[in-house]
Structure 1
């Protein structure tokens, strides 16, 4: 077998190729998708837009994704309600309500005679309920009176009578010298309670049950109650009259 002969041209070409390879070396590998270092352009882009969120692509470059502006609701919002102390934008005209006279007791107004009790001395219960020293209580009536609470005008009429004798009836009023003022009354079930202020001026021991009975029976007749309690200056009448 004969070996091939190298020509002078072939030797020169091979020498040049080896010289070029020795100077430059092998080519650098191309970047792969596993590279995590961002490029210089991506870094400058990210610093320029601080509101953008960076995202890494497969080629190692960073693409800035701009954030969307705040969304505006298409439905208009209602204005905030004014505080309670604020005046309304436009005054609201209201029709005036008719005023009525206050009715403390809630009772209807009526017109009727008042029943006032006086004493028949030594009658011994013939003409009415028997009281005290063998006397009787007798009911009398006044002219028609307008009222809503019948207790007040009845008791006030009794206290306003400053005469001992009741006409020609033979009845007497033992309260005619007393200085008493009606303050108020309250009906609780079948019991009427009345409050007075002032002082009693009585003529003797027998006037004590007479005065008490006149007040109690007059208040019961006006209220429809079956029992009564009388307070004078905040104290029960029995306690006040016991000192007389």
Structure 2
């Protein structure tokens, strides 16, 4: 059998190919055309869910309105009392009692041959003298006026002074209650004691007395 013949050139080319294959080995894989994925950094972490208030918020929206002042209102100016028309004064009161059988020698003559005699009290402070004077007369529950020999025929009566009014030279007083007298001669005595005491206190020259809304003459006529 005839052997094949190789030329020198053929042998040289085959050797060169084997040598190149042994030097380089298999080819390296082709590089990817896509860029590598970026590694997450701290800046890409999820944002915090806690809201932080900003410093630009309006202070008027969150500041409560000031409460109304609790300071009390200023009291109104003190008014001066209204004048009553009578100045306050301190003086004795004049009270009239009866001198039985005196026949007008010691004072104004009244019925049954008696007299009225003025007496004075200790100093009293008043603005209207009529009320205190009539009140002092009605408050005396003794028949005898000390050691003077004078008597008070109103000592058993239950009378209360209600008020008085001066009209010109006439003083009018109003009383309530009941008379308790000792006889017919006590009628002019009781009327005179009330009228003269009221006139002395008011400076009037005549007097009218009403008891329970009725004239004193009408009331005493039934005694």
2:108 maps to what in 1? 129
1:237 matched to 2:200? The reply is: no
Distance 1:167 1:193 in 2: 30
Structure number with larger C-alpha Rg:
2
1:161 matched to 2:136? The reply is: no
List, as ranges, runs of 4+ consecutive aligned residues in structure 1 with deviation greater than 6 Å.
none
1:106 CA drift (Å)? 1.7
3-state SS of paired residue (1:172):
coil
1:112 maps to what in 2? 91
2:117 maps to what in 1? 138
1:94 CA drift (Å)? 6.5
Distance 1:199 1:148 in 2: 28
Distance 1:94 1:135 in 2: 62
Distance 1:243 1:94 in 2: 58
Match of 1:97 among 46, 71, 78: 78
2:126 maps to what in 1? 147
Distance 1:111 1:228 in 2: 24
Distance 1:180 1:228 in 2: 17
3-state SS of paired residue (2:192):
helix
2:163 maps to what in 1? 184
Q: Which runs of 5+ in 1 are unaligned?
A: 1-90
Deviations 1:151-182 (A, max 9, x none): 00000000000000000000000000000000
1:195 CA drift (Å)? 0.1
Q: Give the TM-score of the pair, scaled to structure 2.
A: 0.66
1:226 matched to 2:201? The reply is: no
Higher RCO by CA contacts (8 Å cutoff, separation 6 or greater) = 2
1:77 maps to what in 2? none
Distance 1:132 1:197 in 2: 24
Deviations 1:110-165 (A, max 9, x none): 00000000000000000000001000000000000000000000000000000000
1:95 CA drift (Å)? 5.1
